[in-house]
A and B are shown apart, each in its own frame.
Chain A
């Protein structure tokens, strides 16, 4: 079942053509990886899918609803795009609670459980301004998954995480896949991409399907 449909999408950014008539159907319950050199447009692609920016031409539909026409931002998406901003004077829990209150569909207990899931201490009085990069990244992952979002759009989710945390998050993503959630992620690390069902390389403004690397060993 197609959940995200990208049709003939083109996008230029500051004079550079990032995408030219790309087409892609994202099916429910799969993990998709996107790779490409820096500045190739991975984040721009994710921003277009989430409705944060519009394509120059073509259309992107989520569950049959066109972004920018029928809907602005898709529902039930968890996102990590760019460096997430937090209220520096609040703790991690307070920051997440602030976000959870927007929709109001999860309890404090669920926020705490999500924090524990990624290895953050919910009871800690440490303000986010004193968080390490890795802790901030874990907090970003928490906010993207805590409301049991159906689709996760994760730009470099493993950045700044230690080895144990990377493994923990990878296992978490595979569990989400089993639950039927759809995941889109980018990474520079081949090991991270191994969990993907399909991997696309952004090459010369096009999306090229590369072979899935599942089962491939990486030294």
Chain B
């Protein structure tokens, strides 16, 4: 115990801490005099919290004094502690980050202690109260204390929040710097980042417009700036905690050889990009919809209206192409893989081409149904999120909701099945995925205005805009016939393959 006391004494009496304490004290005196003079001018009462919170929320002492010291401590600890001798003993980089944070706080806590101590020390001779003072409630102090007083019922709560905020923000700053160094491992770039953070703090509170203030590090160091930027402190806290969670997730990934993960992510990249494009279309349509009259089903109709010979728009045409032909292309890649790489090994085990065909084709059919349901759900959910009417009316098309859903799901399913069977035939004949692309390009041409006037060519028939001219059941019939014909063609090709 005596050792701990000795150690604490050693730390506290170090020259640098004394200098820091003196600087804060004299600056605090200036602030205290400012409050005294303002309050006495208007004959307002002040209390100890005015002095204390005023010092803790002074942006100049934070930006030009506290932030540089914090950055210095953080940089020194990161640079001196990140070495192979320490890492091999700790076992993981994750442990190093937390050890570094502990070491950082063993020094920074003294700085914080001095700041808090001075904020109390300066209140000597000032009346104490648990409530906000007349001064803090007045318009004079609206720049700092008034705004805090509007949000927090008691000054003590504001004080605790300010402390918690400083601890959280400073911790996140150090974690960020630790992770940055662990990632780049370059001393000079790391020091440049420290300089950027300092300059960002200086520039941030002076030049950033209010709507971008959340990007400035200083926003998170004082309660006053925090409230200015987020209106309500809880939102800001969510931002900070969100940042902490992101950093923590990154910490969890630090010790893993990401090569394996990048490889698996790479193989899902086309699917990921495809899904993002699908969602982007739905989101942009939802945002442009009118919440006063449009409904959630209108989002579905507008997103998947597609085009036909009479009704054509570039946006709808391209979005249809992305969603349905994009899906066909992705499935085409899988089909090519099935045929080129593993098909023969499987076929020899099934001993029957049709059995082999259905072994994987039924999985694709299930995926198509799931995909259509997902698209429908996304449209409705995103529509609801942006505040569109949640009834099942359709205002952009004079059709019932069940006709819409029937056409979207049933005819959508039949249409995609037709596309898949078509690209299968090409892949089976040519053994090359690029030929599938040529077929898809032909399908796109067939959807252009004036080509499919009778609606008998089984391409683009699942466009919701077709409901203006054709019955959904007629479209089902056309697609069923097309699918049966193409399936019979596949059977014929299989028979021919055996003969050959």
Select A67's contact among B83, B99, B257, beta carbons within 8 Å.
Answer: B257
Contacts of A137 on B, CB cut-off 8 Å? Answer: none
Q: Is the CB of A50 within 8 A of B259?
A: no
- Closest beta carbon of chain A to B92's beta carbon, Å: 5
B91 at the A/B interface (Cβ < 8 Å)?
Answer: yes
Query: Which residues of chain B have C-beta atoms less than 8 A from A74's C-beta?
Result: 88
A99 engages B85 (CB within 8 Å): yes
Q: How far is the CA of A145 from the CA of B90 in the complex (A)?
A: 16
Is B379 positioned at the interface, with any CB of A under 8 Å from its CB? no
Tell me if B87 and A68 are in contact (CB < 8 A): no
Instruction: Confirm or deny: B260 has a beta carbon within 8 angstroms of a beta carbon on chain A.
Output: yes
Q: Which residue of A lies closest to B83 (CB)?
A: A85
Q: A52 to B90: give the CA distance in the assembly, Å.
A: 12
- Is B89's CB within 8 Å of the partner chain A? yes
Q: Does any Cβ of A come within 8 Å of B264's Cβ?
A: no
* A143–B257 alpha-carbon span in the complex (Å): 27
- Tell me which residues across on chain A come within 8 A of B86, comparing CB atoms: 99, 102
Q: Does B93 contact A (CB under 8 A)?
A: yes
Q: From A76, which residue of chain B is reached at the shortest CB distance?
A: B88
- Contact present for B257 and A75 (CB under 8 Å): no
Question: Is A79's CB under 8 angstroms from B80's CB?
Answer: no
Number of interface residues of A (CB under 8 A): 27
Neighbouring B residues of A71 by C-beta, 8 Å: 91
Pick from A67, A75, A143: contact of B85, CB below 8 A.
Answer: A143
Alpha-carbon gap, A144 to B256, bound state (A): 25
Check B89–A99 contact: CB distance below 8 A. yes
Asked whether B400 is an interface residue with its Cβ less than 8 Å from the other chain, the reply is no
Mostly helix, strand, loop or mixed at chain A's interface?
A: loop
Min CB–CB distance B104 → chain A (angstroms): 15
Which B residue's beta carbon lies closest to that of A99? B85
Interface string of B56-95 (1 = CB under 8 A from A): 0000000000000000000000001001111111111100
Q: B354 on the interface (CB 8 Å rule)?
A: no
Q: How far, in angstroms, from A52 to B85 measured CA to CA in the complex? A: 11
* Chain A residues in 8 Å Cβ range of B257: 54, 67-69
> Separation in Å of the B257 CB from the closest CB of chain A?
3
Q: Which residue of chain B is the closest to A78 with respect to CB atoms?
A: B88
In whole angstroms, how far apart are the Cα atoms of A52 and B92 in the complex? 10
Which residues on B sit within 8 Å (CB–CB) of A75?
91
Contact of A73 among B92, B256, B259 (CB under 8 A): B92
Q: Judge if B255 is at the interface, Cβ distance under 8 Å.
A: yes
Contact between chains at B84 and A79 (CB < 8 Å): yes
Most B CB contacts (10 A, CB to CB) among A74, A87, A99 go to: A99
Tell whether, in the assembled complex, residue B80 and residue A73 are in contact, meaning their CB atoms are under 8 Å apart.
Answer: no
In whole angstroms, how far apart are the Cα atoms of A143 and B83 in the complex? 12
Indicate whether A85 sits within 8 Å of B88 (C-beta atoms), given known contacts A54-B257, A72-B93: no
Establish whether residues A52 and B91, one from each chain, have CB atoms under 8 Å apart when the complex forms: no
Contact A69:B256 (CB < 8 A) given known A85-B80, A87-B80: yes
Q: A77 touching B88 by the CB < 8 A rule?
A: yes
When chains A and B are docked, how far (Å) is the Cα of A71 from the Cα of B95?
13
Greatest chain B CB density within 10 A among A54, A72, A79, A87 is at: A72
CB distance from B184 to the nearest CB of A (A): 13
Interfacial residues of chain B within 254-304, with CB under 8 A of chain A in the complex = 254-257, 259-260
A208 part of interface (Cβ distance < 8 Å):
no
Q: Which of A50, A68, A73, A87 contacts B90 (CB 8 A)?
A: A73
A84: B residues at CB distance < 8 A: 83-85
Measured CB to CB, the nearest residue on chain A to B91 is A73
B interface footprint on A113-155 (CB within 8 Å = 1, 0 otherwise)? 0000000000000000000000000000001100100000000
Candidate in B91, B99, B257 with the most chain A CB atoms within 10 angstroms: B257
**Is A171 an interface residue when CB atoms closer than 8 A count as contact?**
no
Q: A residues within 8 A CB of B80? A: 85, 87
B residues within 8 A CB of A67?
Answer: 257
Residues of B close to A77: CB separation below 8 A: 88
For A100, the closest partner residue in chain B by CB is B89
State how many angstroms separate the Cβ of A11 from the closest Cβ of chain B. 11
Known: A73-B91, A87-B80. A79 touches B85 (CB 8 A): yes
In the bound complex, residues from chain A placing their C-beta under 8 Å from that of B85 are 79, 84-85, 99, 143-144
Residues of A within 8 A of B87 (CB): 52, 73
* A50 x B84 contact (CB < 8 A): yes
How far, in angstroms, from A36 to B432 measured CA to CA in the complex? 48
**B92 partner residues in chain A, CB cutoff 8 A:** 72-73
Residues of B with C-beta under 8 A to A216 = none
Evaluate contact between B84 and A54: CB separation under 8 angstroms. no
Give bound CA distance, A144 to B84, whole Å.
Answer: 11
Using known A-B contacts A54-B257, A56-B259, A68-B257, determine if residue A73 contacts B88 with beta carbons closer than 8 Å.
yes
Q: Which residues of A contact B254 (CB under 8 A)?
A: 72
Please state if B90 and A102 are interface contacts (CB–CB under 8 Å): yes
The verdict on A14 contacting chain B, using a C-beta distance below 8 Å, is no
Chain B: minimal CB distance from A153 (Å): 9
Q: Shortest Cβ distance from A48 into chain B, in angstroms?
A: 11
The answer on a CB contact under 8 Å between A68 and B256 is yes
| B-binding residues in A (CB < 8 A) | 50, 52, 54, 56-57, 67-69, 71-75, 77-79, 81-82, 84-85, 87, 99, 102-103, 143-144, 147
Q: List 18 A-B residue pairs with CB atoms under 8 Å apart, sorted by A's residue number.
A: A50-B84, A52-B84, A67-B257, A68-B255, A68-B259, A69-B257, A71-B91, A72-B93, A73-B87, A73-B90, A73-B92, A79-B84, A79-B88, A84-B83, A84-B84, A84-B85, A99-B86, A143-B85
Contacts A72-B92, A73-B87, A73-B92 supplied; 14 other A-B pairs, CB < 8 Å: A50-B88, A52-B84, A56-B259, A71-B91, A72-B93, A72-B254, A72-B255, A73-B88, A73-B90, A77-B88, A81-B84, A84-B84, A85-B80, A99-B89
Question: What residues of chain B have their CB less than 8 Å away from a CB belonging to chain A?
Answer: 80, 83-93, 99, 254-257, 259-260
Q: Which 4 pairs between the two chains have the least Cβ-Cβ distance?
A: A68-B257, A72-B255, A102-B89, A54-B257
